[in-house]
Structures are given as structure tokens and as C-alpha cells.
Amino acid sequence: MFNAFRTTVLLAALTALFMVVGYFIGGTSGMVIAFLFALATNLFGYWNSDKMVLRMQNAVPVERSRVPELYDMVDILSRKAGLPTPAVYLIQSDQPNAFATGRNPQNAAVAVSTGLLRHLETREVAAVVAHELAHIRNRDTLTMTITATFAGAISALAQFGLFFGGGDRRDNPLGGIGALLMVFLAPMAAMLVQMAVSRTREYEADRIGAEISSDPLALASALHKIATLAGREVNVAAERNPAMAHMYIVNPLSGQRMDNLFSTHPDTGNRIEALRALAASMHVDDKGRRPQPRPAPTSTGRDIGGGWRVPTVGRTDEDGGQRGPWG
């Protein structure tokens, strides 16, 4: 209920921003046109923005036969999270990263980059997937996807101001100056909305994702690796569509080391510290194990190809410590 209210407030704010941009571009008539455009964007965003985002990020659907280990991982973690298994997409990018999208848990998708599978260990990949499933369970994906659509549309609308010259000065007192201001201020306002949406939700998705995977330190390790490698590998699709950056688990843009005030994501170091504190409260070590009073039956796991193994959930080590589902 609260997420639905928050999404409604966000859409109202973005619609109002649309109308303000329209006013400074074309006066009262421009504001009306912008309002109609915002309504159309709302409808389009609800039904189609997830498909648009996946296409813009060059994410392609993959069959289970291609990456069975990833499919099994998503399926097992989805059941742990109490969710339908989402569609699985691959992003052809050397930069390790991932995002989730979809208007609801029944129409969701998880997209991971080929770089994520290449650079991260199995436990770390599972922790990242669990983080994205947390976004789906929290219904963040609709809000984040529509926000990305709106941000791109607002920026495009502001650019039109250069061509229309600010409309009739009698209707728009600032004339061309107002249109020029919108070219610079509207994208910044849209970016501030994105930051407000993304920052708080990332901490919550970290916490819930760590609980789903039962391995908070694996997520902490994954975040450290992704943040380090993201600065070295360029995500071409994300650079072309920066309005989508807040959807990724870590900022994919090469300019991510700008001042934290203008970052779409919370500081990675702060996220890692929060996960370490969570691991301590869960009594989980750096291998995803937690002590148990009585040892449980052991399992060697099953090989599912690609050098990955899916161990039985809750297997024990020789020392009697119980591992998480991906330990």
C-alpha cells in the first residue's frame, strides 16, 4: 500500500515537472500539451517501459539451455523470495552489472551482464540476483522503470525548447530565456528525482537481498568488485541512455566518481558497511556459514555446467557450520 502511494506521488511530481517545462517552452498551450504528453507517457510507461528499457540496454532473452546454471539460480532464489520466476536476460557488456524491471512480480525480468558472470564468483552472482529479486518483491521495478522513461522524456522535451524559442512572450514572460533555462534545469530536476527514488531503495534491496541469499558478505564482496570494475569497463548502452543508470545495482556510468551529491546510488562503501553489520547480526561468516547446534546431512551438490555448482540449500561443512544456499 505504501509503495503504491509513493509511486502515485512520484508520478504526480513528474507530471507537474512536465507541465512546468511545457509552460516555459510554449506558455499555457505548451503546458496543456505537456500535460497530455505526460498522461500518454504514464500509460506507455506502465505497459511498455520495461520492454523499452531492456531493448535500450541491449538485453536479450536467453533460453535455459544456454545458461542453465543462471536459470537454476534465479529459480531457486525466486522460490526463496516467494516470487514467480522472472524472465532472464543477458547484457552483452564486459562491465559487471545487473538490473531488474517489470510492472509487477508476474511480469518481471532480471538482466545480468556477461561481465558479471565472468568476473564474479557463484556466491556473489547469487547475491546480486537476490538483490534484484528484492527490487521485484518491493515493487520498485515499476517505479524505477517509469522514472527512467520520464527522465528521458523530460530531457527530450526540454531540448525542443531550443527549436520553439519559448513560445509567445505574452503567454510566457521569460520567452526564449525560459526555454533555454529548461534545457539545463529540466534534466537536472529529473536527475534529482531519480536520485530520490534510487538511493533509499538500494539500501532496502541490499538488506532484503542478503536475507534471501542468506549471504550478506557475498553481496558486499560483489558490490566491491562491481564498483571497482565499473570504473574500468565502459557500458556503452548505459552511456547512451544515462537516464537508465539508477536501475543498475551499481552506477554503470564512467562519470560515477562525481561528487556523491549528484550520484544516483548511495556510496558503495556505506552499503558494504551496512551489509557487514547485517552479517554480524545474522551470525554469518565470510563463506555464508552460520553455526548450528546439530550438524545437518551433507550434500556434495550437483554440477550444472559452466564450472558452476548449485549446492543443496543449507549444507554443512566439516566444522559443523551451516552454509547459506550459495556458500
Q: What are the residue numbers of the active site?
A: 132
305 phi and psi angles, rounded to 5 deg: 90, 165
Assess contact for 135 and 144: CB atoms under 8 A.
yes
Strand duo 98-102 + 108-113: pairing: antiparallel
Assess contact for 115 and 94: CB atoms under 8 A.
yes
User: Hey, what's the cell of 247?
Assistant: 536501475
Assess contact for 98 and 111: CB atoms under 8 A.
yes
Assess contact for 24 and 179: CB atoms under 8 A.
yes
294 phi and psi angles, rounded to 5 deg: -130, 135
Say how far apart CA 177 and CA 173 lie, in whole Å.
9
DSSP state, residue 311: P
Burial 56-76, CB ≥16 within 10 A → b, else e = bbbbeebeeeebebbbbbbeb
187 Cβ contact partners less than 8 Å away, ≥ 6 residues apart: 151, 154, 155, 158
Strand duo 302-303 + 309-310: pairing: antiparallel
63 Cβ contact partners less than 8 Å away, ≥ 6 residues apart: none
DSSP state, residue 251: -
User: Hey, what's the cell of 37?
Assistant: 504528453
User: Hey, what's the cell of 295?
Assistant: 550438524
Query: What 3-state DSSP class applies to 62?
Result: coil
Say how far apart CA 88 and CA 59 lie, in whole Å.
9
Which sign does the torsion angle of CA 259, 261, 267, 273 carry?
Answer: positive
